[in-house]
């Protein structure tokens, strides 16, 4: 007869068979059985055992609660999923403190700073392939970015592969082996997600519920059922793993790969857009040469632009006008750069607040950054020329979040 605690653990593990369960016991997160053997090997920690009945002991390995983030980071970087099982309340029921999984951390759903690169998005992608068509959706839960597209052609698997090399997601989910075929050659963790999650009606309902709309007509996905299926699945996966409201994901952007230059994986590699062929470093790449951005948000945007060369002449000319304006006005550019040095990563910090995981230091960083906004507006208003940035000033000034007092944060 096993102990009640053992039965409780086995019940939790049954619900999350593909994740390493970090089971809270006092000041430690403990792992058991095969999870313990794996954790001891990957983290180079001691493997012990725990008595669970008169005649049985099971493998056990644990890490201190206060330093768990670093250990979890190492597991996530190796492609594993970690289910965090916490005590809920202090009142025992039948002699046992209730526990439940509060969150499942996966490569594509991390929010911890130790696991994130400042100047790169951390995408979770969903891929579904059917009859020479493919639906792709991606989300970055640290910034709220959410997009979807549909590809079509006899070489659809190659198109999927190329788009994945552009996005470079941290994790990919697919409904079946057929859909996973184009991505197996990528060095990216992927897993099969329940196929019913990709069902069209299920996906529509999930997206309508999330955005609180009666129809998806306004999202630009008409006639793109596979894109809808991928988008619905990816938002369900995030909800399943985060166990919390996703209020920070407020927009779904439908995009077409035809709106920018189509570069295949080999071309991207040979051009060394964001990393060198030898060593995979950004130093020596085009990004390394061009990246003089001050903020993490700007760094991520520049990386996206390099992977999506514009084809629209008007958009290209507008971007050139912006560059010309800032290049010619050296003093104004210098003032703005000095100003932006004080701005933290507002995209990720505000999303941490929305997710209810912000720390006091996050709020202070937001406070300091918002104090800078009025000064940045003044500098932009002084620009001479056609800079697109000037058109954003009315929107900034009308935004109550940047005009109201922030000292109470």
pLDDT at residue 394 is higher than 80: no
Q: How far apart are CA 233 and CA 154, in angstroms?
A: 25
Q: What pLDDT is attached to residue 54? A: 81
Q: What's the pLDDT tens digit per position in 260-304?
A: 888 888 999 999 999 999 888 888 999 999 999 999 999 999 999
Helix (H, G, I), strand (E, B) or coil at 57: strand
Helix (H, G, I), strand (E, B) or coil at 212: coil
Q: How far apart are CA 379 and CA 402, in angstroms?
A: 16
Q: Which residue has the higher pLDDT, 354 or 143?
A: 143
Q: What is the mean pLDDT of the chain?
A: 90
Q: What's the pLDDT tens digit per position in 183-200?
A: 888 889 999 999 999 999
pTM over 0.75: yes
Q: What pLDDT is attached to residue 297? A: 95
Residue 334's CB is within 10 A of a number of other CB atoms, namely 11
Average pLDDT of span 23-34: 94
Would you state the CATH architecture of domain 4-105? 3-Layer(aba) Sandwich (3.40)
Sheet holding 145-152, edge to edge: 190-192, 171-174, 124-130, 133-140, 145-152, 253-254
Q: What pLDDT is attached to residue 387? A: 58
Q: What pLDDT is attached to residue 401? A: 55
Residues of the chain with pLDDT > 90, as a percent, come to 69
Give the CATH fold of the 117-259 domain. Nucleotidyltransferase; domain 5 (3.30.420)
Name 333's Cβ contacts closer than 8 Å, sequence gap at least 6.
Answer: 326, 327
User: What are the boundaries of each domain within the chain?
Assistant: 4-105, 117-259, 261-301, 312-403
pLDDT at residue 81 is higher than 60: yes
Q: What's the pLDDT tens digit per position in 261-273?
A: 888 889 999 999 9
Q: What's the pLDDT tens digit per position in 126-161?
A: 999 999 999 999 999 999 999 999 999 999 999 999
Residue by residue, DSSP assigns 327-393 as HH-HHHHHHHHHHHTT---HHHHHHHHHTT---HHHHHHHHHHHHHHHHHHHHHHT--S--GGGGGH
Name 360's Cβ contacts closer than 8 Å, sequence gap at least 6.
Answer: none
Q: What pLDDT is attached to residue 393? A: 56
Q: How far apart are CA 207 and CA 38, in angstroms?
A: 37
pLDDT at residue 30 is higher than 90: yes
Q: Is residue 207 within 8 Å of 228, Cβ to Cβ?
A: yes
């Amino acid at each position: 007869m096993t102990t009640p605690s053992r039965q409780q653990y086995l019940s939790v593990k049954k619900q999350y068979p593909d994740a390493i369960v970090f089971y809270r016991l006092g000041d430690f997160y403990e792992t058991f059985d095969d999870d313990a053997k794996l954790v001891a090997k990957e983290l180079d920690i001691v493997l012990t055992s725990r008595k669970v009945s008169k005649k049985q002991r099971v493998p056990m390995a644990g890490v201190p609660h206060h330093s768990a983030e670093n250990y979890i980071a190492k597991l996530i970087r190796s492609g594993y999923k970690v289910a965090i099982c916490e005590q809920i309340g202090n009142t025992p029921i039948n002699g046992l403190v209730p526990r439940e999984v509060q969150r499942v951390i996966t490569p594509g759903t991390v929010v911890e700073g130790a696991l994130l690169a400042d100047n790169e998005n951390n995408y979770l992608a969903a891929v579904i392939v059917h009859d020479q068509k493919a639906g792709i959706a991606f989300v970055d839960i640290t910034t709220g970015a959410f997009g979807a597209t549909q590809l079509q052609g006899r070489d659809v698997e190659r198109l999927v592969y190329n788009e994945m090399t552009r996005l470079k997601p941290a994790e990919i989910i697919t409904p079946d082996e057929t859909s996973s075929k184009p991505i197996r050659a990528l060095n990216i963790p992927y897993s099969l997600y329940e196929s019913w999650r990709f069902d069209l009606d299920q996906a529509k309902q999930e997206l309508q519920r999330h955005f609180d709309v009666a129809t998806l007509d306004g999202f630009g996905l008409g006639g793109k059922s596979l894109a809808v299926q991928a988008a619905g699945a990816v938002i369900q996966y995030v909800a399943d793993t985060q166990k919390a409201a996703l209020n920070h994901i407020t927009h779904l952007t439908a995009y077409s790969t035809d709106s920018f230059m189509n570069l295949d994986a080999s071309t991207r590699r040979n051009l060394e857009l964001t990393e060198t062929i030898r060593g995979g470093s950004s130093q020596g790449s085009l990004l390394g040469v061009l990246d003089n951005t001050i903020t993490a948000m700007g760094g991520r945007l520049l990386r996206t632009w390099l992977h999506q060369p514009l084809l629209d002449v008007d958009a290209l000319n507008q971007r050139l006008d912006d560059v010309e304006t800032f290049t010619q006005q050296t003093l104004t550019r210098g003032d703005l750069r000095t100003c932006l040095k004080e701005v933290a990563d507002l995209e990720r910090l505000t999303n941490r607040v929305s997710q209810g995981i912000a720390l006091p230091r996050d709020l202070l960083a937001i406070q300091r950054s918002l104090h800078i906004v009025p000064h940045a507006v003044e500098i932009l208003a002084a620009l001479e020329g056609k800079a697109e940035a000037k058109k954003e000033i009315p929107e900034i000034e009308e935004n109550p979040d940047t005009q109201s007092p922030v000292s109470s944060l």
